[in-house]
Amino acid sequence: MIAILKYNSGNIMSVRVALQRLGHDAVITSDPDLIRRAEKVIIPGVGEAGSAMEHLRERGLDRVIVSLKQPVLGICLGLQLMCNFSEEKNSQCLGIFDTVVRRFPAGARVPHMGWNDFVSINDDPLLKGINLTDDVYYVHSYYAGVNDFTTAVCDYGLQFSAAMRKDNFFATQFHPEKSAGTGVRILENFLGL
């Protein structure tokens, strides 16, 4: 079973539909027991870090997420919540990735919305078969800088983490479910872990 975390964010149905197209059904849930029993967990999201973290804490899901041992994929807001802290509403986050999420600086057009390729890609199972020239789709105003967990880098006036990984936790700032063939490949890679 694949669990898609339900937690006060948008874009959940897009992820479910993308998985269905790949022949996988998923349960949308905030039930801690279902999440713990799932073979894989996806934390998608379009939203705001402060209210999302408040929602997770109220339900004890913050503790559940960090304890998971199966493959976990954070998408967009999901990546940001996996970091230590977000400047968005000065939010303490999950602390899986030891880095801070910042707002794009003044002068940058936000949100960063649309297609962009990569500056670099590390050898990582989530990104197997992905090339520097492959485009992926972004919608975000906050970013995690390049850090020890970065597996892919994008440039939008500054370089930031397009993807990160720590142990069984994978994350993408872009939306694989909206990234056409490249996104399909990334989702297939995750489902194959």
**pLDDT tens across 108-135, in order?**
999 999 999 999 999 999 999 999 999 9
Answer yes or no: 188 catalytic: no
93 catalytic? Reply is no
Q: How far apart are CA 50 and CA 22, in angstroms?
A: 32
The CATH number for 123's domain is 3.40.50.880
Calculate what percentage of the chain has a pLDDT beyond 90.
Answer: 96
Which tens digit of pLDDT belongs to each residue from 84-99? 999 999 999 999 999 9
Of 48, 76, 83, 93, which is the active-site residue? 76
What is the residue range of 117's domain?
Answer: 2-191
- 56, 60, 66, 71: CA torsion to nearest 10: -80
Taking the complete model, does pTM exceed 0.95, yes or no? yes
Q: Is the pLDDT of residue 9 over 90?
A: no
- Pairwise pLDDT comparison (25 vs 9), residue with the higher score: 25
Domain count, the chain: 1
- Report the pLDDT value the prediction gives residue 193, as an integer from 0 to 100: 97
Catalytic, 76? Answer: yes
Distance CA 53, CA 138 (A): 21
Backbone angle region of 16, left / alpha / beta, with phi > 0 → left and psi within -120 to 50 → alpha: alpha
